[in-house]
Amino acid sequence: MRGSRPSAEQELDLVVATEGGDEAACRELVELFLPAIGGLARRFDAGGRVLRAELMQEGIAALLFAARRYDPRLKTPFWGYASFWVRKAMQELVAEMTRPVALSDHAVRGLARVRAARRDHLQAEGAEPTKAQLAAATGFTRARLDTLLAVERRPRSFDEPLGAEEGTTATFGEMVADPGAEKAYDQVLDRMEVQAVRDLADRLDERERAVLSGHYGLGRPRQTLHEIGSDLGLTAERIRQIEKAALEKLREAAAQPPDAAGDPI
């Protein structure tokens, strides 16, 4: 779809797929509306380029929030709906950034521990830590960690080199403009916390996933219980039992309230 404006129907498909957790659609949707977000950011860009970088991040996050909430029955074009949330997010950011914050010595020391834990994790794993991992590494409670992270949040210049720790010399702005920089772009989207959709399939073990995918032909050719059993060295009846238990597990997971642990930062 790059290079040409999608039809209203294609745009709706992108929004629906983004809401459903499709990362490629999410990336495409962000790319499609990046110029429009940039246009809004310029209106709030009173404080210089650093603030503009974070305005863009807030704008992308708000766009994705709008995609999760947008209902085509509202009879409003998507951008007509989403731009309201983008503008609101930017207004709030400006309010937040201009509010004075005084840090206690205790908070400064805590912040240093969080930064060190994040740096260590990045070096060891090559990826941003989750809040749960940071909490484990620092020994802070989630509440304390959230407080410190709220203070730690800082804008990043579009021309600032990302540095060796992220394995590239590209600038942040280049990555946003070029979705080919897959890993870095994913990090941007991760920072926007787009992975908020509960994926029930994550609750299943490998065998359960194989049984359900095979029996119902999800992402692979459909198989009978006998065929799946032959592949796994089990009887068809055992496969039926595994499937029943897996479906019950999914049902239980859906009935439970969402678990906030492990959200990306």
Partner 1 sequence: MSSDALLRHNAFIYDSDDAYVARSVAFLREGLEAGEGCVVGNTRDGIAMMREALGPDADRVSFLDVSFTYTRPAKTLAAYYGAFLEHLRRAPSVRAVADVQVGPTPADWDEWAEYEAITNLTYSHLPVWVLCTYAANGLPDAVLEAVWQTHPEVFTDGWQPSDQFVDPRELVRQLNPEPEPLPELRSFSGGEDLEVFRERLARELVAEQVPGAKALDMLVAGTEVAANAVRHGAGIEEVRVGRADGRFVCEVIDRGTGFDDPVAGYLAPREGTGTGLWVARQLSWRVESFRSPRGFTVRMWL
Minimum CB distance to partner 1, residue 116 (Å)? 21
Q: Tell me the C-alpha to C-alpha distance, in Å, between residue 113 and each of 42, 146, 162.
A: 35, 13, 21
Q: Is 15 in the site for partner 1 (CB under 8 A)?
A: yes
How far is Cα 133 from Cα 122, in angstroms, rounded to an integer?
A: 11
Site for partner 1 (CB under 8 A): how many residues? 62
Q: How many C-beta atoms surround the C-beta of residue 219 within 10 A?
A: 8
Minimum CB distance to partner 1, residue 103 (Å)? 11
Minimum CB distance to partner 1, residue 124 (Å)? 28
Q: Segment 157-216, which members bind partner 1 (CB under 8 A)?
A: 193, 196, 199-201, 212-213, 215-216
Query: With contact defined as beta carbons under 8 Å apart, do 63 and 82 qualify?
Result: yes
Q: Work out which of 2, 75, 105, 124 binds partner 1, going by CB under 8 A.
A: 75
Q: Work out which of 42, 92, 116, 226 binds partner 1, going by CB under 8 A.
A: 92
Q: Output the six-digit token pair for 170.
A: 């590209």
Q: If we measure between CA atoms, which residue out of 173, 158, 166, 193 comes closest to residue 68?
A: 193
Q: Work out which of 46, 112, 116, 218 binds partner 1, going by CB under 8 A.
A: 218
In degrees and rounded to multiples of 5, residue 161 shows phi and psi of: -60, 145
Q: Segment 131-160, which members bind partner 1 (CB under 8 A)?
A: 141, 143-144, 146-147, 150
Query: With contact defined as beta carbons under 8 Å apart, do 63 and 83 qualify?
Result: no
- Which residues, other chains included, contact 217 with Cβ-Cβ below 8 Å and sequence gap of 6+? 223
- Per CB under 8 A, the segment of 32-40, 164-172, 228-236, 249-257 that binds partner 1 is 249-257
- Per CB under 8 A, the segment of 46-54, 60-68, 108-116, 118-126 that binds partner 1 is 60-68
- Which residues, other chains included, contact 160 with Cβ-Cβ below 8 Å and sequence gap of 6+? 53, 171, 172
Q: Which is nearer to partner 1, 2 or 75 (CB)?
A: 75
Q: Is 217 in the site for partner 1 (CB under 8 A)?
A: yes
Q: Which is nearer to partner 1, 137 or 151 (CB)?
A: 151
How far is Cα 115 from Cα 136, in angstroms, rounded to an integer?
A: 14
Q: Output the six-digit token pair for 25.
A: 């659609």
Q: Give me the half-sphere count of Cα atoms (radius 13 Å) on the Cβ side of residue 215.
A: 19
Q: Work out which of 40, 93, 117, 242 binds partner 1, going by CB under 8 A.
A: 93
Q: Is 84 in the site for partner 1 (CB under 8 A)?
A: yes
Q: Which is nearer to partner 1, 87 or 121 (CB)?
A: 87
Residue 264, classed as helix, strand or coil, is strand
Residues lying near partner 1 in the complex (CB under 8 A) are found at 9, 12-13, 15-17, 19-22, 61-62, 65, 68-69, 71-76, 80-81, 84-85, 89, 92-93, 95-96, 99, 101, 141, 143-144, 146-147, 150, 193, 196, 199-201, 212-213, 215-219, 222, 247, 250-251, 254-260, 263
